[in-house]
Amino acid sequence: MQQIINFLIRYRNTLLFIILFTIAFGLTIQSHSYHKSKFISSTSFLTGGLFSVTSNIDNYFSLKAYNNRLLIENAKLKNALQQKGIDTTSINTLATDSSATIQYHYKPALVINNNYHKTNNFITLNKGKKDSIDTDMGVITDLGIVGIVQKASTNYSRVISILNKNSRINAKLKKTNHFGSLVWNTKSPNIVQLIDIPRLAPLKIGDTIVTGGRSTIFPKGILIGAIKDFQLDTNESYYTVNIKLFNDMTNIGFVNVIENKNATEIKAIEKQTNE
């Protein structure tokens, strides 16, 4: 017994090192699995608060670009409204019972922290559960998709960016409905990969890729990017397609978070069938 205590006292620093290192190792492993990486995150009061302050300053430098993007989007939406023959004055903005018929609800948020140089990139938004933003909601800009909300605290939320090697989003060709998965090979922040596109799909450089709508997260047909180049994989049965994103992932700014009103219902049904 005496010897054990002596041993412990002698190597107490090494033991402390081993314990702390194990904790760090555990946290690292947890951060690499999609569903568990929630302990150490940037949504706390302290980190979110500091990011809010710095992004307040940062955003001044991009105001002009954001404004331009808004104007373009507004013009596009107005044109679309006109084509459908909807009179904007007749739309009552206070009509809340429309939520029963509208499946997707869009909420604005601001990016306060964005990474794109690592292999696992995350984005922090300045809105959280208080603004009814919760996990598994899609995040988009006017130009294309950004990622999926992974964790929400009261005031902030963390988004798993499409520039993350754990991200996997259902996508398809706009023209033909050939489905594949959107992944990222960590090489460039402007280019993502679409894998598992069947060999028979008619691909052409410049074709548009949109979301597939096979999950509850993104509605069908949200823009992603255009085909840059493509090649058959080693089995020669599926294409791997390089896609140039429409979004500039290095300068995102304002985003929309998509809430699917039917998500809980759909998930409940899927759970039942699984059991």
Partner 1 sequence: MNNTITLNIVRFLSLALMQVVIFNKILLFGYINPYPYIIFILLYPIQNQPWIFLISSFMLGLTLDMFGNSGGSHAAACLLISYLRPFILENCFGLNYIHQNLKLNNAPFKQLVIYVVLMCFIHHITLFSFEVFELRYINFVLSQTLGAGIFSIATILLSLSLFRKGN
Which residues would be at the binding site for partner 1 (CB under 8 A)? 12-14, 16-17, 20-21, 23-32, 37, 40-42, 44, 46-47, 50-51, 54, 113, 115, 117-120, 122, 124, 158, 165, 186, 189
Closer to partner 1 at the Cβ: 118 or 214?
118
Residue 134 identity: D
The answer to whether 30 and 23 are in contact (CB under 8 A) is no
Nearer to partner 1, 46 or 102 (CB): 46
By beta-carbon proximity to partner 1, the closer residue of 23 and 65 is 23
CB of 187 to partner 1, least distance (A): 9
Report the nearest approach of partner 1 to the CB of residue 14 (Å).
8
Residue whose pair of structure tokens reads 């450089």 in the numeric block? 205
Closest separation in Å from C-beta 191 to partner 1: 13
Helix 2-10 and helix 12-31, axial crossing angle in degrees, nearest 10:
70
Q: Region of 224 please: left (phi>0), alpha (psi -120 to 50) or beta.
A: alpha
44 within 8 A of 52, measured Cβ to Cβ: no
Residue among 174 and 244 whose Cβ is closer to partner 1: 244
Residue appearing with tokens 């397609």: 241
Min separation Cβ 50 and partner 1, Å: 7
> Could you tell me how many helices (H) and strands (E) the chain has, helices first?
5, 12
Minimal distance in Å, beta carbon 180 to partner 1? 21
- In angstroms, the CA 38 to CA 214 distance is 26
Nearer to partner 1, 42 or 260 (CB): 42
Kindly list the distances between the CA atom of residue 70 and the CA atoms of 65, 143, 208, 232, 255, in Å, as whole numbers in the listed order. 9, 11, 22, 39, 11
